[in-house]
A and B are shown apart, each in its own frame.
Chain A
Amino acid sequence: MTRSAHRTRRILQVTGASAAALLTLSACSSSDPGTDAGSSSAKPSGTVTVFAAASLEESFKTLGKQFEQEHPGTKVTFNFGGSDTLAASITGGAPADVFAAASTKTMAIVTDRQDAAGTPATFVRNQLEIATLPGNPDRISSLKDLTRPGLKVVLCDKTVPCGTAAQKALDAGGLKLTPVSYEQDVKSALTKVELKEADAAIVYKTDVRAAGDKVEGVDFPESAEAVNDYPIAVLKNAPNPGTAKAFVALVRSAEGQKVLSRAGFLKP
């Protein structure tokens, strides 16, 4: 393994290293040693490992099953998580074939280190939405309504993509909003509304869709200013690049887009 020497030189981020080690372990144990990178041009086979942003979980699992059916003998293994964490493990040497990030910024972490084989392509976009309690009892209809005193609003922390996006939208509307909490990720923000601890949260459309009838979504025009592009790329050190390309093709196909839009994603 030449990569391991390569890897240790590269990792400056200690934390990334430990995460990568764990991921390496889990990825190794689930991959099939019999099939490897050699047969890249032939028809898809073997295991393809996909690192994808947490918000893609449901759609990608559906697409993964579809892919395995269309190409007997293949297996799609997923690692869902925060985009930043995933990017850190990829640059740390985790053996992944495909990376689908929730923002171009996190994809840039990977491309900057030239770990992506080609130019990443945006395959979906995600837009912000206000999540309110079921039935919208506070009658929130605009971003400005969230600044009403007495209303408990949670935002994502500025260090995570949904927080950055929310800030962008607020800036676009010229609004100042003091939330009760800056949550560590979009799911926690949504949970606070689901448990009725907060009256509203600014989250992604897809999250509102996934939460079903536990929250109610409210669109707002400023969200157009903070649309997240989701890029996808086959990685340079992909153990199974041929199959990886085939999977990316499925994601970007009309069929794939149908599955993704059902989850609330917008077309690129």
Chain B
Amino acid sequence: MTGSDTLESRPRRDRHRGRTRPVPIPLLVPALVGLAFLLLPLIALLVRAPWRSLPEQLTSAEVWEALRLSLLCAMAATVLSLVVGVPLAWLLARTRFPGRGFVRALVTLPLVLPPVVGGVALLLAFGRNGVIGQWLDSWFGITLPFTTTGVVLAETFVAMPFLVISVEGTLRAADPRYEEAATTLGASRFTAFRRVTLPLIAPGVAAGAVLAWARALGEFGATITFAGNFPGRTQTMPLAVYLALQNDPAAAIALSLVLLAVSIAVLAALRDRWMTAS
């Protein structure tokens, strides 16, 4: 996908195909431990799942409503992240301006911020009484907390850094001279980005989008803080799971399984379609 992926790299790739060499033990053991560590909680979830009462747990309309809302909002948050996150990544990777390193650190801030704090911060910014929110309210009559739009914003806030980091990394690895080549052919910087850079970094963008989508789908803290919890409007699956956990852990496990199954299905499908393409 980058400069190295031209004529010379093809034979090299073929040469290594089909040959299996033993994996060194110092790599294999930690790798397996890591894999087990990631999988065991999921397996435990399956083992302890209330399989007998599962059909009954899953027939409630609220479950499907929460799932529908989760998928809808995660998708919207991903699209929103793409629309503003990819240009932001380009800006960070391809331009020089004072304080760029600082801006990059700021972009990743939502990664380390506890999501609940993120939710409070969103309230302070876009809430009815927030720095921006009060103008939105008084000029346009728009209030964001307690709305589905609020859910999308909260998820975008938490998920977008994943996309930006992923895309910026891909952009840095991509050969900027392709953009120069496009420029000498008469392409403006934007045309060069749209017709050359973007297709070149498509796998990285897709990976970032999937990451952001997954993060948005599981988002809990910022969502419940900023958008609240109302079935059908702002109650996504993670919120439903958390609240079910308060007095009915079996129901919570059942809901988690649904979320898990859907995520795995979507990620597997996307992986086949996008990740291997590069």
Contact = CB atoms under 8 A, between A and B. Distances in A.
Interface of B is mostly: helix
Contacts of B231: 182
A12 B243 contact: no
A196 B146 CA distance: 13
Interface string A150-166: 00101001011000000
A157 B128 contact: no
A158 B244 CA distance: 10
B40 to A, nearest CB: 11
Nearest to B227: A181
B184 interface: no
Interface in B216-273: 224-225, 227-231, 234-235, 239, 242-249, 252-253
A14 B44 contact: yes
A14 B249 contact: yes
Given A14-B253, A152-B146, A157-B229, A184 B44 contact: no
A188 interface: yes
Interface residues of B, number: 31
Contact of B124 (A16, A180, A184, A195): A195
B246 A82 contact: yes
B45 interface: yes
Contact of B129 (A182, A188, A196): A196
B145 A184 contact: no
B249 A181 contact: no
Given A15-B245, A196-B128, A181 B44 contact: no
A159 B244 contact: yes
B123 interface: yes
Contact of A180 (B225, B230, B242): B230
B226 to A, nearest CB: 9
A207 interface: no
B127 interface: yes
Given A195-B124, A197-B129, A84 B247 contact: yes
A197 B45 contact: no
Contacts of A134: none
Contacts of A192: 145, 228
Contacts of A196: 127-129
Given A14-B45, A181-B234, A188-B224, 5 more contacts: A160-B246, A181-B146, A181-B227, A184-B242, A191-B120
Interface of A: 12-16, 82, 84, 88, 152, 154, 157, 159-160, 179-184, 188, 191-192, 195-198
